[in-house]
Amino acid sequence: MYSASHDRRVRAIAFYLPQFHPIPENDRWWGEGFTEWTNVSKAKPNFVGHYQPHLPADSGFYDLRVPEVREQQAALAREHGIHGFCYYYYWFAGKRLLERPLEEMRISGAPAFPYCLCWANENWTRRWDGAEGEVLIAQNPSRADDERLIRDLLPHFRDPRYIRVHGKPLLIVYRVGVLPDVRASASIWRDVCRREGIGDIYLCAAKTYDTSDPARYGFDAIVEFPPHGVRTPPVNAQVQITNPDFDGTIVDYRRYVIDSLARLDPAWVVHRTAMPGWDNAARRPDHALTFIHATPEIYEVWLRELVARTVEKRVPEERLLFINAWNEWAEAAHLEPDQRYGRQYLEATQRALSDALVCGAPFARFSARAAIA
Amino acid sequence: MRQALTYQIAGQLDEAAAAYQEVLAQAPSTHDALHMAGAIELTRGNLDKAERLITAAMAVRPSYNAIEHNLRLVHDAKFAALLSKTEDLCERALPILGEFALARGKPHMNSISAEGATSLKKPIHLIGRLDAGESEQSLRRIADLVAPHEPTVWCVGDGIVESAHARNMRRVDAMVGAMPRGGTHVYVGVDYNCASWIDRADADRVIVFCGSAAPSFYIEQLRALARDGSRAIELVFPSQAMAARFGRGHHVLPPPFGVDPHAERVVADVPMQESDARTERSIGVIGQARDSVADATDVDLLRALAGAGPLRIYDPGRLRYSLGTNARVRFIPRRRDGIAEFVARTTCFVHRAATWWTEPAHQELFAAMAASIPVLCPSSSIFAEYIDDGVDGMFYVTDAECVAKVTDLMREPTRAVEMGRAARTKAMRLFDLQQLSRRYAALLCGDRVEPAVAPPSSAELVLER
């Protein structure tokens, strides 16, 4: 394997939600002035000990239209060892949404912080989960859109801050399964990029509902996307439910981590992903998927193990590791400081990543051997 | 089918499994074959396969007690395996928890001596559970050790509030606001629920005496006591080895154990022949104080020990069923203050440790030392640092080594007596009432204390991946 290499650096990339600012479409669908904070702040506990709402600490209820906020986020991430952000790219057959923070970041060149994109190619629905339901704006994927999409992305691929693997710009597609002919799409994207002087691109499929060997799609790798693929049995019976209308699912975060670590690596390249926690009670109060027992130290154990495996299994250029997410506040998946844990998740991330740079075991356990009096 | 059953009864599991497979190949719905094949897989530890087979048997033959019973055993075993994985994960998180989540503020440190601290009269609140077990013993003993500082003892849960300290003993009742406030809060053990009131129990200083509890419980409880890192708490451990599992910078004090200096020792202070007669040269072990202690490996070890000499098992629990027919084994029921009497009647005491959090409490081990009984202790024990190998006790790594050393010791009573004498001397020194009182008072009243024994050097802490 590759752990003997002197370069033990792992590039940690945090998924970044460019919401947190009002847009006309959301005003129309959800009411004037709607942002993600609207849901976040009104979340309520569903059971005894349920940690809700998650409220921001250092950053407050920020607005991503403000450049200083974006600068502060990048500084905080950099300070804690995070290599870059992966912005969700909302593109619906030529129509873009929530594009302002990203466009301003690209045009201004600030913050000077690496980034890449994940095409969030699923419908927006009233249910917030991309599944069937009342569709607010649909993808309606068609072959004709392939070239339009990739040309839309070219300015980003040319940006010196854009994250590359083997010199190829990294692009993640959230749901490859909904594309009518994903192999053809991948081929077109690669052709256009070559013709435009970008060269080849490094295509990753998010491991969401329907992914397997990336070669089947003409892709290079898979990116894990927890909590997708959760098969951990629910533990609803272990808590005292206080919301009589609750019919959601409660899962033990620790058990999920154990399942994740027990998963065998397939023959193809899978970039591993950890999440600090997950609970979408802010979006779906009565039907939430909620992970309990998520704490910074358990997250750190998980991340350390993923770092160690990434170093062991991947060549230096492919040592990517993802974190879901930087600021998914409505899914309780955020590294950004909250009022309960402060910066503990950021510090855990920093420690897990920086220890990987120290030669030897990235995680040490004391054996039971004791000193003799 | 009959042949398969014969194999199974004879313990020839491979042959029995093959025979059941033959039956199922001809008649796939034979519930007895499905059931028994599942039982074999359960014995082998193949729990998923066992569950599949026994569930299939149940589908064919519902409401059959034996099948239901075995299915329940499978589910119990799966749950235990799951629990053990969770605890393993949490164990790995403990040093992280200890080093950064609990150490947000500066620990309370000043240079006030124990005597000086007395004059400050900072109220001390001791908080713990009256459970008639280790927690209660520790709570009462610490209250005794710092009695001159007039601590208030707070009982969490339903224990009976009665003791020599009754006038200063109160029950936490969050509904009426009865809870410790201000001063130094000293939590003894972590095995109780304080979620409903901990946020309101403000303190100038928080100290936690860490006892036996699973790592997952530690994470939950220490986070609650530290309010997720927003207030500093200090941890006190009964050994360096245990403290090391929680990161660095914690207090270590000998556990609050009491030795009666006037108590006559059975072996050490009497001639050899008499001591042999009085102790009957038996081997003492603690049985199953916690469910997780006894498993098949334990039973094998205990059988082997019984071969080395008469075996006395204190608080045997389910071991009665495994070893009840062995004439060389005697069972002693657990009762309040019964441990001293138990260990005093043995020639050597075998301490066992599966995982550190299921390790029997310190009381038994130190009771043996105080009673001049040499202790055989796993070198992996969190209390191993209290034993000098070959001087006042012995280490073992494997069960075979344990049995061999016990056998030798039973053949050399003089050596056992010498070791026992050294063990008692050490126990007297470690648990000298005045010294221990002074150290506990110094910690609770403001001073940081030196470790009880030399801390392990970095070379002695073996790093594992």
Q: Flag if B219 and A297 touch (Cβ within 8 Å).
A: yes
Q: Indicate which of A50, A80, A254 best probes the interface with B, i.e. most B CBs within 10 Å of its own CB.
A: A254
B463 and A348 in contact by Cβ < 8 A? no
Percentage, residues of chain A above pLDDT 70: 91
Fold of the B102-258+440-444 domain: Rossmann fold (3.40.50)
Q: What are the pLDDT digits (tens) for A284-302?
A: 999 999 999 999 999 999 9
Task: Please give the pLDDT value at position B325.
Answer: 81
Tell me what pLDDT residue B59 has: 87
Chain B hits for A364, CB-CB cut-off 8 Å, are 463-465
Q: Are A348 and A300 in contact (CB under 8 A)?
A: yes
Asked if the C-beta of B81 comes within 8 angstroms of chain A's C-beta atoms, the answer is no
3-state secondary structure of B41: helix
Residue A369 has pLDDT above 60, yes or no: no
Q: Are strands A202-207 and A221-224 parallel, antiparallel or unpaired?
A: parallel
Name which of A87, A228, A107 is nearest A170 in CA terms: A87
- Which CATH number is A108's domain given? 3.20.20.80
Residue A371 near residue B460, CB atoms below 8 Å: yes
The answer to whether residues A140 and A110 touch, using CB atoms and an 8 Å cutoff, is no
Strand order in the sheet with B205-209: B169-171, B152-156, B124-129, B184-188, B205-209, B234-237, B251-252
Residue B100 has pLDDT above 70, yes or no: yes
Q: What is the dihedral of CA A280, A284, A287, A288, to 10 degrees?
A: 10
Residue A208: alpha-carbon gap to chain centroid: 12
Residue B114 is predicted with a pLDDT of 42
Which pLDDT score, from 0 to 100, does residue A110 have? 97
Q: What is the mean pLDDT of residues A230-250?
A: 93
Instruction: Give the nearest partner residue to A255 out of B86, B356, B461, using CB atoms.
Output: B86
Distance from CA of B83 to the nearest CA of A (A): 9
Asked if A340 contacts B224 with a C-beta cutoff of 8 angstroms, the reply is: no
Q: Which two tokens stand for residue A264?
A: 């065998």
Share of chain B above pLDDT 70, in %: 82
Please compute the mean of the pLDDT values over residues A355-363 and round it to a whole number.
50
Distance CA A241, CA A45 (A): 9
Would you say residue A142 has pLDDT above 50?
A: yes
Measured in angstroms, the CA of A70 and the nearest CA of chain B are apart by: 27
Cross-chain residue pair A252–B86, CB shorter than 8 Å: yes
Cis before A18? omega within 30: no
For A224, the domain range is 11-356
Most confident range, picked from A152-166, B29-43, B67-81, B239-253: A152-166
Q: What is the mean pLDDT of residues B116-139?
A: 76
Cα–Cα distance, A115 to A84 (Å, whole number): 5
B353–A297 CB contact, under 8 Å: no
pLDDT of residue A2: 46
Domains B2-77 and B272-430 share a fold: no
Report the C-alpha gap between B133 and A201 in whole angstroms: 65
Alpha-carbon gap, residue B135 to B178, rounded angstroms: 21
Select B2-77's CATH number: 3.40.190.10, 3.40.50.150, 1.25.40.10, 3.90.1150.10: 1.25.40.10
pLDDT computed for residue B291 by the predictor: 45
- Three-state secondary structure call for residue B205: strand
Q: Does B241 touch chain A (CB under 8 A)?
A: yes
In tens, the pLDDT along B139-183 reads 989 999 999 989 999 988 766 655 545 567 888 888 888 899 999
Distance from CA of B349 to the nearest CA of A (A): 19
pTM: 0.84
Could you tell me the pLDDT band of residue A373, with boundaries at 50, 70 and 90?
very low
- Tell me the average pLDDT across A11-30: 96
Q: pLDDT, tens digit, for every residue of B56-99?
A: 998 888 878 888 888 888 877 777 777 778 999 999 999 999 87
The pLDDT confidence band at residue B364, using thresholds 50, 70 and 90, is confident
Half-sphere exposure (Cβ direction) of A89: Cα atoms closer than 13 Å: 21
Selected for mutation to probe chain B from A51, A54, A293, A298 (highest B CB count within 10 Å) is A298
Residues B172 and B158: their CA atoms lie apart, in Å, by: 10
User: Across the interface, do B229 and A342 touch by the CB < 8 Å criterion?
Assistant: yes
Rounded to the nearest 10°, the torsion over CA A330, A332, A335, A338 is: 90
- pLDDT in the model for residue B225: 93
Which CATH superfamily does the domain covering B272-430 fall into? Glycogen Phosphorylase B; (3.40.50.2000)
Phi, psi of B184 (to 5 degrees): -100, 125
Q: DSSP of B151-205, one letter per residue?
A: PEEEEESS----STTGGGEEE-BGGGTBS--SSEEEEE-S-S--TTTGGG---SE
Neighbours of A100 (CB within 10 A): 14
Mutate to test the interface with B, among A301, A311, A369 (most CBs of B within 10 A): A369
Q: In chain A, which residues touch B (CB < 8 A)?
A: 49, 252, 254-255, 257-258, 293, 295-298, 300-301, 340-342, 344, 347-348, 351, 361, 363-373
Mean pLDDT of B432-447: 88
Instruction: Give the mean model confidence (pLDDT) for residues A357-367.
Output: 41
CB pair distance less than 8 Å for A370 and B239: yes
Which pLDDT score is estimated for B115?
43
Least confident of A157-161, B22-26, B312-316, B370-374: B312-316
Cα-to-chain-centroid distance, residue A237: 30
Considering only alpha carbons, which residue of chain B is nearest residue A254? B86
- Contact call for A295 and B389, based on CB within 8 A: no
Length of chain A equals 373
| A199-208, B203-212, B256-265, B395-404: least confidently modelled range | B256-265
- The rounded mean pLDDT for chain A is 90
Please tell me the distance from the alpha carbon of residue B262 to that of residue A220, in angstroms, as a whole number: 78
Q: Does residue B405 contact residue B394 with C-beta atoms inside 8 Å?
A: yes
CA distance B380 to B171: 38
Question: What pLDDT sits at residue B265?
Answer: 47
CB-CB under 8 Å, B228 with A341 = yes
Q: How far apart are CA B202 and CA B181, in angstroms?
A: 5
User: What residues in A contact B219, CB-CB < 8 Å?
Assistant: 295, 297-298
Q: What is the pLDDT of residue B63?
A: 77
pLDDT in tens, B183-219: 999 999 988 888 888 888 999 999 999 988 899 999 9
**What separation, in Å, do the N-terminal and C-terminal C-alpha atoms of chain B show?**
48
For all residues of chain B together, what is the average pLDDT? 81
pLDDT number for residue A368:
30
pLDDT of B340 higher than 80: no
Distances, alpha carbon A140 to alpha carbons A124, A143, A179, A206, in Å: 12, 10, 9, 19
Residues of chain A with C-beta less than 8 angstroms from the C-beta of B378:
368
In a domain, A372, yes or no: no
C-alpha–C-alpha distance, residues A117 and A149, integer Å? 12
Q: Which residue is closest to B355 within chain A, CA to CA?
A: A368
Structural domain total, chain A: 1
State whether A254 and B460 contact (CB < 8 Å). Answer: no
Domain residue limits, chain B:
2-77, 102-258+440-444, 272-430
Q: A115-129, A294-308, B232-246: which range is least confident on average?
A: A115-129
What is the rounded distance in angstroms from the CA atom of residue B376 to the CA atom of residue B392?
A: 9
pLDDT, tens only, A35-88? 999 999 999 999 999 999 999 998 999 999 999 999 999 999 999 999 999 999
Tell me the β-bridge partners of B124: B184
Residue of A nearest to B104 (CA): A344
Confidence of residue A140 (pLDDT cuts 50, 70, 90): confident
Rounded to an integer, what distance in angstroms lies between the CA atom of residue B286 and that of residue B289? 7
- CB distance B195–A49 less than 8 Å? yes
Write the CB contacts of A235 (distance below 8 Å, at least 6 apart in sequence). A250, A251, A252, A255, A292
Is the pLDDT at B447 greater than 70? The verdict is no
CA nearest to B392 within chain A: A373
Yes or no, beta carbons of A367 and B381 under 8 Å apart: no
Q: E strand or H helix at A301, and its extent?
A: helix A296-313
Distance CA B12, CA B19 (A): 11
pLDDT of residue B280: 64
Residue A371 belongs to some domain of the structure: no
Question: Is there a contact between A298 and B90 if contact means CB atoms under 8 Å apart?
Answer: yes
List, in order, residues 6 or more apart from B51 with CB less than 8 Å away.
B38, B71, B74, B75, B78
Q: Which residue has the higher pLDDT, A262 or A162?
A: A162
Is B199 touching A (CB cutoff 8 A)?
no
